[in-house]
Structure 1
């Protein structure tokens, strides 16, 4: 009712041309002209366009981040032998590099060679295990006593290249279910003829009837670039007592 009355009262004071533009009477703005509608439409479309552009840019920025397009692109990597060969005509630079490297055998194949794994537990002889080159020890690799503290110690040799951010990861399964996962940083190592050793933090084997039994595990040694130097797949037991030596 009130809307009909307001509309009739306003129309008495307005005249329009052929294009529906107001040319006289009360400019109270009760009715919008075509130009105003057009301008408003342009503003609305412009706002929507800006909003869509902003969302589109944000989506693509996220895609760039996820896709890694903004990652730093590293240049080609060279072995130490290749670097020395490049500088063989510069006598002073070549001697400086040779002094830094010492007696490293540059003809050694491979970057990291793992020699042995030792299991150390207080009050008993160390268990020293050789590591097969294929990373697959045959049969049961070792037996641990339940509820016993122990450390893992790795012996390895680094040649040819600096190994940056070497880390150790280990995953353990029992009857097909994952029961443990761990990761430990070993460090950065330069080439040298003598082996390195690294001892992991002390752990304690679980105890109880449900802890005893056979386990399967996978250990990996990777660097900052996720290059895997060794993967070991093996089985071990947890028993009431240590295995006889």
Structure 2
């Protein structure tokens, strides 16, 4: 983020639109296979004892979720910010409508931080879960980061994932309120969450 602000006034919202269009097809031409329900996947090899035990170990006790639903569901429970400035701040998801425009956190310029996401997976395996985080200031796009979270099976336990470390920019132009959009998609281009939020960068001590 800090490096990208060197071109602060040269990056606009058009870039995000171009990125979105280019993401319509996977860069490597990968096409996901047909979706199979979790119930069918488990029952497929029920006569192979070793494979059945392996699947049970991988998926855990999921009898209550074997309803034949094809599409996986990813539920996001919280978003956290981890920083040396203040430790950790956690916000429950979804954010209430009257809280959407509030500043979720404030960081000092030149500081390191990470976003932490807590989520659960229901009904089926979610494959290739990715995130993109786009940041604007004064209507201009100033940063965009993308990353892969991975493939996750339904589980009664929550998944906790910390995104890559970012560094806030420094200087007079860097200070102020930023708006951002955090988006999670899987291999099949299903959007599981799109969160708009705001944060502030203030002068360092």
Do both share a fold (TM > 0.5)? yes
1:217 aligns with 180
* CA drift at 1:208: 1.5
Residues 134 and 168 (structure 1 numbering): CA distance in 2 closer, same or farther, change over 3 Å? farther
1:234 aligns with 197
Distance 1:119 1:73 in 2: 34
Residues 221 and 136 (structure 1 numbering): CA distance in 2 closer, same or farther, change over 3 Å? farther
* CA drift at 1:75: 6.2
Distance 1:205 1:106 in 2: 42
2:93 aligns with 131
Greater displacement, 107-116 / 222-231: 107-116
Distance 1:74 1:121 in 2: 37
1:103 aligns with 61
* CA drift at 1:139: 2.1
For the residue of structure 2 that corresponds to 1:192, the secondary structure is coil
TM-score, normalisation: structure 1: 0.58
Q: Considering fraction of residues, name the structure with more strand.
A: 2
Aligned counterparts, 1:167-182, within 5 A: 167-182=130-145
Residues 80 and 91 (structure 1 numbering): CA distance in 2 closer, same or farther, change over 3 Å? closer
Unaligned runs of 5+ residues in structure 2 are 1-24
**Are positions 1:118 and 2:75 aligned together?**
no
**Greater length-normalized contact order (CA 8 Å, ≥ 6 residues apart):** 2
**Are positions 1:152 and 2:115 aligned together?**
yes
* CA drift at 1:91: 6.5
Rg: which structure is higher? 1
- Deviation string, structure 1 residues 79-129 (Cα, Å, up to 9, x no partner): 314556x76xx9746993773532124068962111111111126321111
Unaligned runs of 5+ residues in structure 1 are 1-66
Distance 1:135 1:76 in 2: 37
Length, aligned pairs only: 170
* CA drift at 1:233: 1.2
